[in-house]
Amino acid sequence: MRHFGHISPAARKGLFFQEPCEFDADSPARMLSAALGATLYSPATRPHLADDVLKQAGHGLVSMVLCLEDSIDDTEVADGEANLVRQFADLDARAAQTPLLFIRVRAPGQITDLVSRLGSSVRLLSGFVLPKFTEERGVLFLEALASAEAAAGRRLFAMPVLESPELLHLETRAEVLRGISRTVDKYRDRVLALRLGVTDFCSAYGLRRASDMTAYDVQIVGAVIGDVVNVLGRADGTGFTITGPVWEYFRLQERMFKPQLRRSPFAGRAEELRTTLIEHDLDGLLREIELDRANGLLGKTCIHPSHVQPVHALSVVSHEEFSDAQDILRPGRGGGGVLRSAYTNKMNEVKPHRAWAERTVQRAEVFGVAKEDVGFVELLAAGLTD
């Protein structure tokens, strides 16, 4: 699979200076963690889940979570588990290309039980999403994952969700973060990425952000995101990929504030696309994706297919970013110094900007580099209409 693999080779050639690379479920963890992109959640109880998975794969999705936790009622768990076993068998029989598939469980015992029940179709499973992750709960989940991995005879990843009230509360946050850090570091080879449960954060204080606002506008949430990145997202080799919070809006709502999308990038034929984005409350999503990136997050939790292509379009590395990164990482410049960018609009400091450049090159590998005259509008339009 590859990002933008659902569009024609000719269309990709017209968009990319460097095309996204190909990868699969057996690719190195470092590559997969950067390649997750928009991770679409779906209730495990959906009766035609196999069809849904293949449909979304055909539209460019590369990672998907089949949820047995908050997206279904407590009384539906057993039915959801049985449905997953049936749907995985269905997918296995079709021998079609699937996205990276993860199961979000409620309890550690579900991990070993489901792996046993999946049988040979476990080959389609990339891992598990672990809810309300703390040191105490996390060790139990990760030990269960290690047992399941041995039984399955294949690599299985964990994606812990950081969403517990103890992480949100100021008096316990530092110790909870230290405990989470100890746990994920111990099981580093199995932890693909850390996910943020912002809806649960808001719930602890009876809050819900409006469609005109981002998670970062809710200051108590923004503060937690900053602390999580501070402890768990460092660029010194100890950090993990941390994914952006869910955007929960996907239909027209009455607006209190004016649209956030400027008209200029959409001049000409793309004005209709701008109108569509605004009508579906996706201008706020685009703003939040940009803030995710600025705050050190990569990828995003999604609950609606309409969110996938905006996430991917804004994950592509611009030609200017790539040019700066290459200049900074050019052999022989390890000693430091300051360079004027090739675009002559900024300075590039070799030592301070090196970690940024390395992350940019990593993102460029999996999402590609746009041509000099190609922006997110062209990338988004191609992903939606090809």
Annotated binding site for Mg(2+): 171, 200
Q: SS3 of 369, please? A: strand
Positions at the binding site: 171, 200
CA distance 236 to 135: 22
Contacts of 257 (CB under 8 A, 6+ apart): 212
Q: What single string gives the DSSP state of each residue in 293-362?
A: HHTT--SEEESSGGGHHHHHHTTSBPHHHHHHHHHHH-TT-TT--EEE-TTSSSEEETTTTHHHHHHHHH
Structure tokens, 218: 């809710």
Within 10 Å of residue 71's Cβ, how many Cβ atoms?
Answer: 18
Among the listed residues 152, 291, 279, 146, the one whose alpha carbon sits nearest the alpha carbon of residue 222: 291
Helix axes 319-329, 354-367, angle to 10 degrees: 130
65 forms beta bridges with 41, 102
Contacts of 21 (CB under 8 A, 6+ apart): 2, 31, 365, 366
Among the listed residues 107, 112, 100, 118, the one whose alpha carbon sits nearest the alpha carbon of residue 40: 100
CA distance 311 to 114: 31
DSSP code of 218? S
